[in-house]
Amino acid sequence: MKRVFGWLLLALAFYLAALLATAPARLLLAWLPEQVRVADVAGTLWSGRAGPLQAGGGPRIERVEWEWRPSGLLLGRMEYKVEVKAFGGHAGFDAGLGPFGGPVLEKVQGAWPAASIGPLLPVKGIALGGRVELALERLVLEEGWPVEIKGALHWRDAALVSPFSFGLGGFQAVPALAEDGRLRLDISDDGGALDADGEAVLSRDRSYRLDLRIRARASAAPGLADSLKLLGNPDVRGFYRLHLSGRF
């Protein structure tokens, strides 16, 4: 009896594989929220591509490609290798979805020019230089919000291009989840021109709060220290406070 049951499971796995291999990728459109617009979908549920994609007036994603990984069935979930092209850069990750819980993303690697990320920030009128890199070992989502996250976000060769032009060094933000479910990013510098530390806090209601302490190091370009004076008066150690809050 056990042998028969095993053969039935194997047959079911092959049947599912056959469905994925032949089912058109356009079936995915029925699963997307109404506000998501997709210009083109090609391939199958097993291997395909879509794009450009846009949700309402949100940012545009140029292309998404996926490849089914049958090894995920051994873990009781559907698993895909996904590549995303957007904001002048790209990201790749393994995505899994089981019968319970939300999506699980692993081995997330992404890189984008900071110039393309700047327009998405709540502070307007500034242009950024350098590159932004994302490296996450694991990200678990429930209703679109992180419930588990491990990794870091880096801003390499950071620079302010406009309204002033200064090299800033580099920064990293390490994510952590607070007990109340808020996402906290612990921010620090890599020893470059700008001495900085602080945190950013994001909430499920799409509110955010940014608190930073910054000051120019002796290695900073002439004029950076003077530009920081626009933030007000420094504390006794020469740090200026940068506080921003709002909704994203």
Q: How many domains does the chain have?
A: 1
pLDDT over 80 (residue 35): no
pLDDT band with cut points at 50, 70 and 90 for residue 24: confident
pLDDT over 90 (residue 10): no
CA 63 to chain centre: 16
pLDDT tens digits, residue range 66-82?
998 888 777 778 899 99
Instruction: Please report whether residue 153 resides in a domain.
Output: yes
Instruction: Please report whether residue 43 resides in a domain.
Output: no
Instruction: Please report whether residue 198 resides in a domain.
Output: yes
pTM of the model: 0.84
Instruction: Please report whether residue 203 resides in a domain.
Output: yes
Instruction: Please report whether residue 225 resides in a domain.
Output: yes
- Structural domain of residue 236, as residue ranges? 101-247
Instruction: Please report whether residue 68 resides in a domain.
Output: no
Instruction: Please report whether residue 65 resides in a domain.
Output: no
Instruction: Please report whether residue 52 resides in a domain.
Output: no
Among 44-58, 87-101, 116-130, 170-184, the range with the most confident prediction by mean pLDDT is 170-184
pLDDT tens digits, residue range 212-223?
999 999 999 989
pLDDT tens digits, residue range 89-140?
999 999 998 777 789 999 999 999 999 987 877 777 889 999 999 999 999 9
Res 14: pLDDT: 56
